């Protein structure tokens, strides 16, 4: 098809770059998620390994572990054992040790302090009993770093629940709704027409020209213009959930037929949208890329049928006038000057 040959245009290349950027962002998020999952798995594994190698504060202080670990918590024997070991391994006392013992003394002193704190500080003792580590679970520590402590404060329960509801219910519903109806932030011309409509109508227009060229037909008929307009975002949205097709409305207006009052809201929407869409088409036809594309298109023809911009302009304006000049459907018979429609720059 001819329109595929226009894929080398700047607009197409720009869209290609945007698509590539989106793919790169998605790939980055997938890799980031995989890394997070792997990191979490490693923390859990490390937690299990540490649980298997349980730190024993009683052994560190050269004490016998009682039948119930809690029986030895903050006991006098713990303080006595700590004082006795401090006389030997405290940094101020190690000068009395041999060189080999002095080299190992700093590490041993840290273990003694850790053991003493575990058996005298309630939080560390509870962590040791539950996780085998006075510092607590590595996974829990990671969660504490990622999620501030105020999140778990009962005083903040209402605010936290509201935030989670908004983040995981309202925001996803908002994204899904706008994804179905179009981009979250629509990129529109100043007259309100979605810029995607131009990209959708141009292929349809060239398809009509290609069909007419094969039939050696220079005139684009009303049905074909309607088909081009139906490709737009706006006309597709107008067709959704309506009891009457937009194509039928346009044909009835062209044929000067009465349209039921129950469809007056739909007719009003068509009347408002049609000149704006035509304005976009006319602006596009005056662009350099379109003129060059049309010249390339004509160069492919081995017959006598050639298309030019002025002719297409005239046919499109005449088609629009045929639609909107219908006095029976609430019009005053005015000529619509599409070329002077709202600027879309």
Instruction: Give the separation between CA 172 and CA 86, rounded to whole angstroms.
Output: 60
Instruction: Give the separation between CA 89 and CA 83, rounded to whole angstroms.
Output: 10
Residue-range domains of the chain with CATH: 54-144 (1.10.287.110), 150-185 (no CATH), 192-340 (no CATH)
Q: What pLDDT was estimated at residue 329?
A: 38
Q: What pLDDT was estimated at residue 21?
A: 65
Render pLDDT for 140-189 as a digit per residue (tens, 0 to 9): 555 554 555 555 566 777 777 787 777 767 776 776 665 555 444 457 78
Indicate whether this model's pTM tops 0.85: no
Q: What pLDDT was estimated at residue 336?
A: 39
Copy the structure tokens of residue 223.
Answer: 């049905």
- The set of residues, in sequence order, having a beta carbon less than 8 Å from that of 26 and lying 6+ positions away, is none
Question: Would you say 208 and 4 are in contact if contact means Cβ atoms under 8 Å apart?
Answer: no
Low-confidence ranges of the chain (pLDDT < 70): 1-22, 36, 39-54, 137-154, 168, 172, 175-186, 301-304, 325-345
**Partners of 194 in beta bridges:** 188
């Amino acid at each position: 098809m001819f329109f595929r040959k226009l894929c080398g245009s700047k607009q197409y290349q720009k869209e290609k770059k945007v698509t590539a950027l989106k793919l790169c962002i998605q790939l980055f998020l997938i890799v980031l998620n995989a890394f997070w999952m792997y990191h979490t798995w490693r923390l859990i594994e490390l937690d299990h390994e540490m649980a298997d190698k349980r730190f024993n504060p009683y052994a560190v202080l050269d004490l016998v572990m009682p039948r119930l670990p809690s029986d030895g918590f903050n006991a006098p024997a713990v303080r006595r054992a700590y004082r006795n070991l401090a006389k030997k391994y405290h940094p101020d006392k190690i000068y009395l040790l041999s060189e080999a013992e002095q080299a190992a003394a700093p590490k041993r002193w840290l273990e003694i302090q850790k053991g003493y704190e575990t058996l005298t500080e309630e939080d560390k003792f509870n962590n040791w009993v539950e996780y085998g580590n006075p510092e607590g679970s590595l996974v829990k520590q990671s969660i504490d770093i990622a999620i501030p402590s105020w999140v778990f404060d009962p005083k903040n329960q209402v605010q936290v629940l509201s935030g989670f509801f908004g983040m995981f219910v309202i925001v996803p519903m908002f994204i899904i709704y706008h994804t179905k109806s179009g981009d979250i932030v629509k990129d529109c011309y100043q007259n309100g027409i979605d810029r995607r409509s131009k990209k959708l109508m141009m292929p349809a227009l060239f398809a009509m020209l290609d069909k007419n060229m094969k039939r050696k037909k220079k005139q684009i008929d009303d049905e074909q213009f309607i088909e081009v307009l139906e490709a737009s975002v706006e006309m597709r949205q107008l067709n959704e959930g309506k009891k009457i097709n937009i194509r039928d409305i346009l044909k009835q207006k062209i044929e000067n037929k009465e349209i039921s009052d129950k469809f007056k809201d739909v007719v009003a929407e068509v009347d408002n949208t049609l000149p704006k869409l035509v304005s976009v088409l006319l602006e596009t036809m005056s662009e350099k890329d379109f003129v060059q594309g049309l010249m390339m298109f004509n160069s492919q023809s081995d017959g006598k049928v050639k298309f030019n911009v002025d002719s297409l302009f005239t046919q499109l304006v005449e088609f629009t006038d045929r639609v909107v000049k219908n006095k029976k459907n609430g019009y005053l018979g005015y000529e619509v000057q599409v070329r002077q429609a709202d600027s879309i720059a």
